[in-house]
Amino acid sequence: MMKHIFNKGKDPKKPTLLLLHGTGGNELDLLPLAGRVDDEASVLSVRGNISENGMPRFFKRLAEGVFDEEDLVYRTEELNQFLDDAAQEYDFDRDNIIAIGYSNGANIAASLLFHYQNTLKGAILHHPMVPRRGIKLPDLSGKSVFIAAGTNDPICSAVESTELQTLLEKANAKVDIHWEDRGHQLTPTEVAAASKWYSTLDLNE
């Protein structure tokens, strides 16, 4: 089992928000974001199982921006299985999960979309990278994805953000990208944009 927090929401029909922190973060980091996006939804916030010099992460990397692909695939499968188990344990709808990830957490959320057709209904990805190249993505029809990117992000270039958008759209996902004239930090304005995007989703589909 992965270390996590589950907070049952007021409205069981709402999606469960899956929170995935950045490198060195933990399961408490993104709780305020969930409140901004949907304060009635259930929240499942997970801590990464990898420790890099004491900093929690969701998968190993070989260097900054260079993923350990083998570990990424393994950890993505592990997280997918954890979601199956958590849905049973906490009695939420397994088919109605929307991920909110930042940086390393956004990368593992994107990896879930790249590898599993039905693991997420949608995702809010703050400063994600392309998790893997050269693989065929599942059909992501009906999935909605919001990407928040920085034009001056030193870790994740604007080209990378656009490439991720293109790959997801080619797999039939509906993708909106929000640009900040900033770097890799998570800004209040991009959180507000994500919240506004979420409010436009038809959550009864």
76 closest CA partner among 38, 33, 120, 34: 120
Catalytic residue among 42, 45, 103, 144: 103
Give the list of residues 6+ apart from residue 24 with CB closer than 8 angstroms, or none. Answer: 55, 56, 57
Question: In terms of Cα–Cα distance, which of 69, 193, 27 is closest to 126?
Answer: 193
**Which amino acid, one-letter code, is at 98?**
I
Catalytic residue (one of 42, 153, 161, 178): 153
> Is residue 120 within 8 Å of residue 97, measured between CB atoms?
yes
Q: Is 153 a catalytic residue?
A: yes
21 annotated active-site: no
Specify whether 93 is catalytic.
Answer: no
Q: Taking the C-alpha atoms of 179, 185, 188 and 189 in order, what is their torsion angle to the nearest 10 degrees?
A: -10
Helix (H) / strand (E) element for 193: namely helix 188-200
Q: Give the chain's end-to-end CA distance (angstroms, integer).
A: 30
Q: Of the residues 4, 71, 157, 184, which is catalytic?
A: 184
User: Cα separations (Å) of 31 from 46, 77, 98, 174?
Assistant: 11, 24, 14, 25
Which residues form the catalytic set?
Answer: 103, 153, 184
